[in-house]
């Protein structure tokens, strides 16, 4: 039996919708991830959300009046440059946390773009490895699946800062390269367990 993985993070219209698709998922006490359909004033108010990262790249999206916004204009495509938004997003999240605020990162479905930015916020702000950050966000929102282009950029970012070493590898030999974490989703490193307990 051969494994087939798609580089696209889109859902098929006939696929059953996962329960968390329309949920706002807590990654850390100060950090949440969601899809655009979940961005409702009542929900954000009840969770104490004060800051939002809008990665939908949709003109004139709805805004919640009591939230401060960072707009990240990026498409969910293999060629999109997500790397240039990693630091700005992480800084926005960190500044919100320093003020006692909470940040929601969202895109169209909360699967690829928002997942990528949330993962990198953990890597940059909290010292997670890329591998551990992926597992942390996956635990909160099991439908995440950054596209292959985003994975390449996240892996390159980590490798550039760690002597060429990255904690996630792209496995070849299939129709498209696959991040090795997709084949070991139950794996939790000691560092991950330590971070999760904080």
For residue 33, list its beta bridge partners: 25, 105
CB-side neighbour CA atoms (13 Å) of 56:
19
3-class SS of residue 68: strand
Give CA angle at 56 (65, 148), nearest 5°.
Answer: 150
Our answer to whether residue 25 is catalytic in this structure is: no
Q: How many DSSP H helices and E strands does the chain contain? A: 6, 7
Residues 6 or more apart whose Cβ sits within 8 Å of residue 195: 126, 128, 132, 136
Indicate the helix (H) or strand (E) that contains 170. Answer: strand 170-171
Nearest CA to 182 out of 27, 6, 34 is that of 6
And the tokens for 25? 């998922």
Q: Considering 20, 25, 52, 107, which one is annotated as catalytic?
A: 107
Three-state DSSP at 196 gives helix
Which of the residues are catalytic? 107
């Amino acid at each position: 039996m051969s494994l087939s993985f798609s580089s696209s993070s889109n859902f098929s219209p006939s696929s059953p919708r996962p329960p968390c698709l329309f949920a706002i998922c807590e990654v850390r006490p100060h950090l949440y991830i969601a899809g655009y359909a979940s961005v409702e004033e009542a929900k954000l108010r009840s969770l104490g959300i004060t800051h939002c990262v809008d990665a939908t790249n949709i003109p004139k999206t709805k805004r919640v009046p009591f939230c401060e916004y960072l707009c990240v204009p990026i498409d969910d495509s293999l060629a999109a440059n997500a790397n240039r938004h990693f630091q700005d997003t992480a800084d926005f999240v960190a500044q919100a946390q320093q003020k006692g605020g909470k940040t929601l990162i969202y895109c169209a479905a909360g699967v690829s773009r928002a997942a990528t930015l949330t993962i990198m916020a953990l890597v940059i702000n909290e010292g997670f490895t890329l591998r551990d950050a992926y597992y942390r966000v996956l635990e909160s929102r099991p439908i995440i699946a950054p596209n292959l282009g985003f994975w390449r950029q996240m892996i390159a970012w980590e490798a550039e800062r760690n002597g060429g070493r990255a904690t996630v590898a792209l496995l070849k030999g299939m129709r498209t390269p696959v991040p090795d974490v997709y084949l070991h989703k139950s794996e939790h490193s000691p560092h991950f367990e330590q971070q999760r307990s904080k």
